A = this chain, B = another copy of it.
Amino acid sequence: MDQRQALAAFSALSQETRLHIIRMLVVSGPDGMAAGAIAEKAEVSPSNVSFHLKELERSGLIAQQRESRSIIYTANYEALGGLIRFLMEDCCGGNPEICAPAAAVAACCTPATKGELQ
């Protein structure tokens, strides 16, 4: 993730509806959600959700794929991880005072997955 992508990602996440959508897609995992389902759950109009989904896709944080009549959106885990990494490394220079709280979170979610990641 370079600065250009990071700027786009920050921009994408700086809007309430879009942050909400990202959250829903992370929770829904690899199955993702159809545009209509996202619109319904986020309580926004179809055309408005379409606008924000396009914005999120442009930033690389989500991906789409057609499934019959629906278009399924999924979170791009790699991009989200890359953004966190950018924030810690490139932006904050790996500064321990900044990264320590993040390390605490990482410590409490990664041990349980030992072996689950290749």
Q: Residues of A at under 8 Å CB distance from B?
A: 3, 6-7, 10-11, 13-16, 19, 22-23, 26-27, 77, 80-85, 87-110, 112-113, 116-117
Contact = CB atoms under 8 A, between A and B. Distances in A.
Contact of A106 (B13, B16, B106): B106
Given A27-B93, A80-B92, A84-B87, A109 B105 contact: no
Main secondary structure of the interface of A (DSSP, over half): helix
Contacts of A109: 88, 94-96, 99, 103
Nearest to A85: B101
A104 B110 CA distance: 10
Nearest to A114: B96
Contact of A102 (B7, B15, B102, B117): B102
A39 to B, nearest CB: 20
A23 B7 CA distance: 13
A81 B101 contact: yes
B80 A98 contact: yes
A85 to B, nearest CB: 5
29 contacts: A3-B19, A7-B15, A10-B14, A14-B14, A22-B91, A23-B90, A23-B91, A26-B91, A26-B92, A26-B95, A26-B98, A80-B98, A81-B102, A82-B101, A84-B88, A84-B101, A87-B87, A88-B106, A88-B109, A94-B109, A96-B109, A96-B113, A96-B116, A99-B105, A99-B106, A100-B113, A102-B102, A103-B106, A106-B107
